[in-house]
Amino acid sequence: RGRPGGAHSGSAPRGADGTAVFAMSDQKDVALEIHVTNLPSDPAEPQRDGDDAHEALLTATFPPELPYSALRPYDGRAPSPVVCLANQNGSQVECELGNPMKRGAQVRFFLILSTLGITIQTTDLAVELALSTISEQPGLEPVVARARVIIELPLSVTGVAVPPRLFFGGVVRGESAVRRESQVGSAVRFEVTVSNRGQSLKTLGSAFLTLLWPHEIGSGKWLLYPLHLELAAPPGQRAACSPPANPLRLALVPPREGTPR
């Protein structure tokens, strides 16, 4: 008999309710730290109990988003005495802790878990840890290691104006007198590129980009009038910008073949 140890998720920060918070960006895997002890139930009276635990075994069950990948020793310089065997899809692993696990022994190691199943929709994860032994050991209840998931996408935005400089001139027209694209002045194309160095988004709608530009001067007259808004999306994905361009419904000039709009 002895006091069973537990498991925790390393040095992950914790929320107000004490739940670990896992910030997910471009990690391919995470490490779950396991700490199992076979100590006397009452450290003040160690002679009362505390025997060797025969066939000590840890069974860990993982969610589909976080399957088992590998075992890593706690001290990388020394081989781990723990042996783990996982099922085919990595949803469960059994780790032999010692036969016997000696009285007063402590075992630390890491379970490496793959993050490839985590998506934008994943909000929390739970791993169940259950200890067992053929020795007498009351109170061996499963322990659940929980974590709240926050997806951090390493997005970057770059922009360029073509041409980089414009000159204003010509006849000033009121809004009611403008009917065609040719009457709104020289054209300038703003090309904006959004890059994601982390996990791929399942849907383009998972991220939004807000663009602000000087569309009018102090008197309320148009300065930069949006004629076209184009969003390049992968084949098969629908994407749209809101509100739509050309709010005055001006007559547009069809682009010449081979000329970018």
Q: Give 22-63 pLDDT, tens digit per residue.
A: 777 778 898 999 999 888 776 667 666 668 889 999 999 999
Q: Is the pLDDT of residue 102 over 60?
A: yes
pLDDT at 9: 40
pLDDT at 238: 64
Q: CB-based burial of residue 85 (10 Å sphere; 0-12 exposed, 13-18 middle, 19+ buried)?
A: exposed
Peptide bond preceding 100 in cis form (omega within 30 of 0):
yes
pLDDT band at 203 (very low <50, low <70, confident <90, very high): low
Partner residues linked to 70 by β-bridges:
112
Angle at 93 between CA 89 and CA 99, to 5 degrees: 155
Q: Is the pLDDT of residue 230 over 60?
A: yes
Residue 14 contacts by C-beta under 8 Å, 6 or more apart in sequence? Answer: 20, 21
Of 109-118, 175-184, 200-209, the least confident: 200-209
Question: How far are the Cα atoms of 87, 117, 207 from residue 63, in angstroms, in the given order?
Answer: 13, 9, 26
Q: Which of 213 and 46 is assigned the larger pLDDT? A: 213
Peptide bond preceding 235 in cis form (omega within 30 of 0):
no
pLDDT at 17: 74
